[in-house]
Amino acid sequence: MTTTIRRVLTAGAATVMLSLALAACATPVEQSPATPPTATSPEASATHNAADTEFAQMMIIHHQGAIEMADLAAQQATTPEVSALAERITAAQGPEIELMTGWLESWGEPTSTDADMGGMDHGGMDMDGMDQDAAMTELQALTGTDFDRRFLELMTAHHQGAVTMAQTVIDTGQNEEVRELAQQIIDAQTAEITEMADLLEDLPA
């Protein structure tokens, strides 16, 4: 009798231990915590400061100026390489304008067309001492190789201004997406500055 009772108790204890072990294994699956928010959540993307806002507003205007010049060059340039460069500039900067406009709208900030730009630093917006209107007036009066050369000179100055603006927001901005775009602008336009220097050297005197 005693042996039988001992066997029953032992079996019962084993069953209890097995049940506890199975329950312990299942607990992490049933009670797994929710995934914490990441840096790409909408809340993180909405984080920005005045430097981010000003960069987006001013770079939109800067890009619009580059596209205006590039569209003219795509039609009037004599050198095929210059025409191709102009088309690439338009293709790259158009989507960036849309991206930055979307940021401003999502932040509840005025877009470039609505903002009061009077108090903003317009450094980087001039090209060889000329504003956009003066640069376009000069380019429209030129033809042939003279046009190609002046376009490359002015666009080089324009790109240098964009690089300066982009570096400023990398140093002072808060939004990580803005900083990433700024670095892309620096990389792309620095490469194009080098390309334009080579094209200038290849133009006939």
**Domains in the chain with CATH codes:** 47-202 (1.20.1260.10)
Spatial distance between the Cα atoms of 165 and 186, rounded to a whole number of angstroms: 9
Q: 91-137, pLDDT tens digit by residue?
A: 999 999 999 999 999 999 998 655 444 444 444 567 878 999 999 99
In the three-class reduction of DSSP (H, G, I as helix; E, B as strand; rest coil), residue 162 is classed as helix
In this prediction the pTM is: 0.74
Spatial distance between the Cα atoms of 134 and 197, rounded to a whole number of angstroms: 22
Q: 162-173, pLDDT tens digit by residue?
A: 999 999 999 999
